[in-house]
Chains A and B, each alone.
Chain A
Amino acid sequence: MANDLFNSFMSGPDENGRFGDFGGRFVSETLMPLILDLEAEYERAKTDETFWAEMDDLWTNYVGRPSPLYYAERLTERLGGAKIYFKRDELNHTGAHKINNVLGQIILARRMGKTRIIAETGAGQHGVATATVCAKFGLKCIVYMGKHDVERQAPNVFRMRLLGAEVIPVTSGRGTLKDAMNDALRDWVTNVRDTFYCIGTVAGPHPYPAMVRDFQSIIGKEAKEQMMAAEGRLPDTIIAAIGGGSNAMGLFFPFLDDKDVRIIGVEAGGKGVDMKMEHCASLTGGRPGVLHGNRTYLLQDDDGQILEGFSISAGLDYPGIGPEHSWLHEVGRAEYVAITDKEALEAFQLCCETEGIIPALEPSHALAHVAKIAPDLPKDHIICMNLCGRGDKDIFTVARHLGFDMSDTVGRDAD
């Protein structure tokens, strides 16, 4: 398979931005010329050495790449089976994988002469990364964030404001990540001349899913090289959490044609994937539809109305998923599973206790699945999991769920 160009899983999307039946460019006419401009600029940049030289320099000196590949020894012992490695993208500047992509898009925006950057954010990690890079380049930054998320991710809201960004709480619709994306699109359609929309995940109209994947693929490229150096071979299984799916696509993509590598994406199962739909597992519990510029699996009702997701993790709380994941799911190259809030919380604590790493709630979902499968796998089975974000932003949420009263602590500090 790896040598057979015609059967490659890495050749998508086609010229219409499709991965199989998924993807595409489902946007209003006002945005179409902008998206075509962006596609042309990205195609130019892709083969321009100066573009990648600038990226490499910033990845090394600003982000701190490469991120380490770390053998989680005590966790491996505790689970008693497969050998577990973490790809440590939580050690990046701003504490998550999001900045890999933001750097690429902001450099493109600068090449296009755009001076005003807009972004949507759920957990706030993409918003913080965008605000950070905008501060570095002196660009105006506006971040749309659902009102509910503004409340549950207060530390990130404060970070963005410190970094000079304007955070706009979104109250339209139900005030969640999808509504933040709607409002960002409304902003873009209104401010077409000077504004660049920096999308935070592998979704949206073509070329965003492919472009964001390409920027995030640095994760998988490094992991592959690092694994060869550490073990002299590729991992048997790679695992990552999925909201929109950018950290997962970044890890998965360079491995797609390595047919012996098992690929698992972990969706947010919320309170459980059942008829009540209190989850964000688009592939496990949704069906194909069209939203935010692309065709992909969506949480929707029988009439094609979009449903709200539900997850303890604001970063996974989105009713859709990147179109390339929908395609990988349908062709069977990757498996997708769901992990509940409760399982993710347990994995969060397991990681703290065994490895001295406080993970974000998003990769805690991936880790929960690792904890499920590792014990039954042989000791020479190697798992590589993307630890895509650190948990500082989540300690308030976790404390509340564990019944620890943080308001007291904060009060004492203030005295």
Chain B
Amino acid sequence: MTRIDAKFAALKAEGRKAFVAYVMAGDPDYDTSVEIVKGLPGAGVDIIELGLPFTDPMADGPTIQLAGQRALEGGQTLLKTLQIARELRKEDDTTPIVLMGYYNPIYSRGVDRFLAEAKEAGIDGLIVVDLPPEEDAELCIPAQAAGMNFIRLATPTTDDKRLPKVLQNTSGFVYYVSITGITGAANAEAGDVGPEVARIKSQTDLPVIVGFGIKTPEAAETIAKVADGAVVGSAIVDRIGKGDNVADVLAFVKGLAYGAHRA
């Protein structure tokens, strides 16, 4: 059982929805980033998605892309990203950390070496945007063998015929992408999302978390109501990008978490 499985078991027992927050590792700089990540559990975040910066984030909008650029310009690397997880683990051994990014930095490090290092650093799961089920042999299967969750994205274009393939090697939870588009773009509509989540849940026992296009506490609440939880990324990263201090960022996160937990 990973920290992710344990967290969802606990949430279920409490009858609460999950609030998942995404931040880019090393944004706006390494030290501030560590401070923000350390503050997330206290602000009500159930699962942390830690962005692994990449030069070419094809599925992300300008907000996340600029955050990645800030991090890379500040010298952020894969190893420094794992170091942020280690810093959190010094004081928190229960909040799951999911590393989210693109395959090339991981491939460049070498899959086996990366998995060993990530596991040791306290990473619990991976979301790798450019690894669909067709490429499961690359990282998904080795990651599960190493005891890490591999969380798959399901999207509005994932039809019933394809859904079993997407769910097949997914573990931890299913991340439903609420819109066709990039992060931080259009608003997620609960009316569209609800039936889709139900469709996925009819084929899996895994929790279904919804992300993309959720920007406010109200949106987090309405979306969490029709799913097992909600993810907010760009709206938080936007605050960091605008230069908000750590306390203000965490206060904003607290509001979002409150919204999701009200559901």
Q: Which residues of A approach B to under 8 Å, CB–CB?
A: 16, 24-34, 172-173, 178-179, 182, 185-186, 189-192, 289-293, 295, 298, 300, 302-306
Pairs across A and B, CB under 8 Å, 18 listed: A24-B135, A25-B132, A26-B135, A29-B132, A29-B154, A29-B157, A29-B177, A30-B153, A30-B156, A31-B157, A182-B57, A185-B59, A189-B180, A303-B105, A303-B109, A304-B78, A305-B54, A305-B105
Give the Cβ gap from A122 to chain B, nearest Cβ, in Å. 15
B180 engages A190 (CB within 8 Å) = yes
B134 beta carbon closer than 8 Å to chain A: yes
Give the Cβ gap from A8 to chain B, nearest Cβ, in Å. 25
B162 engages A182 (CB within 8 Å) = no
Residues in A neighbouring B132, C-beta threshold 8 A: 25-29, 32
B106 beta carbon closer than 8 Å to chain A: yes
- Inter-chain CA distance A26–B103, complex, in Å, is 9
A33 engages B104 (CB within 8 Å) = no
Q: Which among A178, A192, A300 is the interface contact of B157 at CB below 8 angstroms?
A: A192
Q: A16-B134, A190-B180 are in contact. List 20 more A-B contacts (CB 8 A).
A: A25-B134, A29-B155, A30-B59, A32-B158, A172-B65, A173-B65, A173-B69, A178-B56, A185-B59, A186-B182, A189-B58, A189-B59, A192-B180, A289-B107, A290-B102, A291-B104, A304-B109, A305-B53, A305-B55, A305-B105
Known: A27-B132, A304-B78. A173 touches B56 (CB 8 A): yes
- Inter-chain CA distance A295–B182, complex, in Å, is 23
Known: A25-B132, A185-B58. A305 touches B72 (CB 8 A): yes
B56 engages A182 (CB within 8 Å) = yes
Residues in B neighbouring A182, C-beta threshold 8 A: 56-58
Scan residues 16-53 of chain B and give those whose CB is less than 8 A from a CB of chain A.
53
Known: A190-B180, A304-B108. A32 touches B54 (CB 8 A): no
Known: A33-B159, A290-B103. A25 touches B180 (CB 8 A): no
A189 engages B182 (CB within 8 Å) = yes
Residue-wise interface mask of B (66-80) relative to A, using a CB-CB cutoff of 8 A (1 in contact, 0 not): 000100100001100
Residues in B neighbouring A190, C-beta threshold 8 A: 180-182, 185
**Residue among B58, B65, B103, B134 with max Cβ neighbours from chain A (10 Å):** B58
Give the Cβ gap from B54 to chain A, nearest Cβ, in Å. 7
Closest residue to B79 on the A side, CB-wise?
A303
Total number of B residues with any Cβ neighbor in A under 8 Å = 44
Residues in A neighbouring B120, C-beta threshold 8 A: none
Closest residue to B134 on the A side, CB-wise?
A25
Give the Cβ gap from A109 to chain B, nearest Cβ, in Å. 18
Known: A29-B166, A34-B157, A172-B62. A291 touches B56 (CB 8 A): yes
B interface SS class: loop
Residues in B neighbouring A173, C-beta threshold 8 A: 55-56, 65, 69
Residues in B neighbouring A24, C-beta threshold 8 A: 134-135
Closest residue to A16 on the B side, CB-wise?
B134
A304 engages B134 (CB within 8 Å) = no
Give the Cβ gap from B98 to chain A, nearest Cβ, in Å. 16
Give the Cβ gap from A282 to chain B, nearest Cβ, in Å. 14
B130 beta carbon closer than 8 Å to chain A: yes
B104 engages A300 (CB within 8 Å) = yes
Closest residue to B80 on the A side, CB-wise?
A303
A304 engages B104 (CB within 8 Å) = yes
**Residue among A24, A173, A302, A304 with max Cβ neighbours from chain B (10 Å):** A304
Give the Cβ gap from A115 to chain B, nearest Cβ, in Å. 17
**Residue among B62, B69, B107 with max Cβ neighbours from chain A (10 Å):** B107
Residues in A neighbouring B102, C-beta threshold 8 A: 290
**Residue among A26, A189, A298 with max Cβ neighbours from chain B (10 Å):** A26
Residue-wise interface mask of B (157-171) relative to A, using a CB-CB cutoff of 8 A (1 in contact, 0 not): 111001000100000
A32 engages B162 (CB within 8 Å) = yes
B147 beta carbon closer than 8 Å to chain A: no
Q: Which among B77, B104, B107 is the interface contact of A306 at CB below 8 angstroms?
A: B104
Residues in A neighbouring B153, C-beta threshold 8 A: 28-30
B131 beta carbon closer than 8 Å to chain A: yes
B141 beta carbon closer than 8 Å to chain A: no
Known: A29-B155, A33-B158, A172-B65. A303 touches B134 (CB 8 A): no
**Residue among B102, B132, B180 with max Cβ neighbours from chain A (10 Å):** B132
Residues in A neighbouring B104, C-beta threshold 8 A: 289-291, 298, 300, 304-306
A303 engages B162 (CB within 8 Å) = no
B61 beta carbon closer than 8 Å to chain A: yes
Residues in A neighbouring B61, C-beta threshold 8 A: 186
- Inter-chain CA distance A31–B130, complex, in Å, is 10
Residues in B neighbouring A186, C-beta threshold 8 A: 58-59, 61, 181-182
The 9 closest A-B pairs by CB, nearest first: A304-B108, A304-B105, A190-B181, A30-B155, A26-B130, A304-B104, A306-B55, A32-B132, A185-B58
Scan residues 78-116 of chain B and give those whose CB is less than 8 A from a CB of chain A.
78, 102-109
Give the Cβ gap from A95 to chain B, nearest Cβ, in Å. 30
Give the Cβ gap from A365 to chain B, nearest Cβ, in Å. 25
- Inter-chain CA distance A65–B154, complex, in Å, is 45
Residues in A neighbouring B103, C-beta threshold 8 A: 26, 290
Residues in A neighbouring B158, C-beta threshold 8 A: 29, 32-33
Residues in A neighbouring B246, C-beta threshold 8 A: none
- Inter-chain CA distance A119–B54, complex, in Å, is 23
